């Protein structure tokens, strides 16, 4: 499987990685035979939502806006930003767009509740139910920010910590709250080289991965990615069985038509 002249250390690393991937894949397919009940899904959603909201509340009340701390060197940091729009910091339509987005999340959560109940009752593939739950709890986590954070917090500022339930009230009205983001993975930070084809980009800063997000965003992304990768497993094509035609004695086929021989 691995070249003979490959260093022993790389062989060990390769076998370890291959073993890890195999175990993960086996685990995913083994989940198919695990019977998922509503209480399992409810607990799964609750734990992710609890982790998402706990981290957001901590960051909101203990970090200044734009404050940053390294967790795993420069590759993983906690960087506090607030997002008035969609996931990954995207925005559209100003205040009107914000209301539309919040109402869309609300509708998605309401419809998602009925959809989850339906696929659990019909015993869909376990991993599919998990993916749907991840997308659902991600939408719910960010919906809570949009609906209530503007009411229960004052404005976060670069040199002023926000307070929970401030005496003067929140920083905005219902449905206008900002989503709290903090997870930052700037894996690569460099500059475009002088030979880069687009001349206007040469020498400019390049960063991968630049978006700042939260656990709710990560849940949505994970659910969507696994669905895209394993969709053929979740939705196998149905092969229609074609029943062979029975030809009675005394008949013959002529250009697709059945004629009786006199």
Determine phi and psi for 258, rounding to 5 degrees: -90, 125
Instruction: Assess whether 52 carries a catalytic annotation.
Output: no
- Selecting among 52, 145, 181, 254, the annotated active-site residue is 181
* Cα dist from 103 to 56, 109, 135, 202, whole Å: 21, 10, 16, 42
- Selecting among 52, 145, 217, 254, the annotated active-site residue is 217
Strand partners, 83: 179
Instruction: Assess whether 181 carries a catalytic annotation.
Output: yes
**Cβ pair 139, 112 in contact under 8 A:** yes
Q: What's the farthest any 2 CA atoms get from each other in the chain?
A: 100
Tell me which residues are annotated as active site: 181, 217
């Amino acid at each position: 499987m691995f070249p003979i002249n490959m260093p022993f250390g790389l062989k060990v690393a390769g076998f370890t990685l291959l073993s890890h991937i195999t175990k993960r894949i086996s685990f995913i397919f083994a989940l198919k035979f695990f019977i998922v009940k509503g209480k399992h899904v409810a607990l799964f959603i609750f734990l992710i939502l609890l982790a998402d909201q706990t981290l957001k509340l901590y960051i909101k009340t203990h970090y200044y806006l734009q404050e940053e701390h390294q967790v795993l060197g420069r590759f993983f940091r906690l960087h506090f930003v607030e997002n008035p729009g969609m996931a990954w910091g995207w925005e559209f339509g100003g205040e009107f767009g914000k209301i539309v987005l919040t109402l869309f999340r609300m509708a998605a959560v309401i419809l998602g509740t009925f959809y989850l109940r339906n696929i659990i009752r019909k015993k869909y593939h376990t991993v599919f139910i998990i993916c749907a739950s991840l997308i659902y709890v991600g939408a719910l986590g960010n919906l809570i920010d949009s609906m209530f954070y503007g009411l229960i917090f004052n404005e976060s500022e670069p040199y002023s910590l926000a307070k929970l339930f401030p005496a003067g009230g929140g920083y905005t009205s219902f449905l206008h709250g900002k989503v709290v983001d903090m997870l930052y993975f700037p894996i690569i930070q460099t500059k475009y080289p002088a030979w880069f084809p687009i001349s206007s980009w040469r020498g400019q800063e390049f960063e991968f991965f630049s978006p700042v997000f939260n656990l709710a965003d990560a849940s949505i992304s994970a659910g969507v990615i696994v669905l895209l990768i394993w969709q053929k497993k979740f939705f196998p094509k149905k092969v229609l069985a074609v029943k062979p035609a029975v030809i009675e004695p005394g008949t013959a086929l002529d250009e697709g038509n059945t004629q009786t021989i006199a």
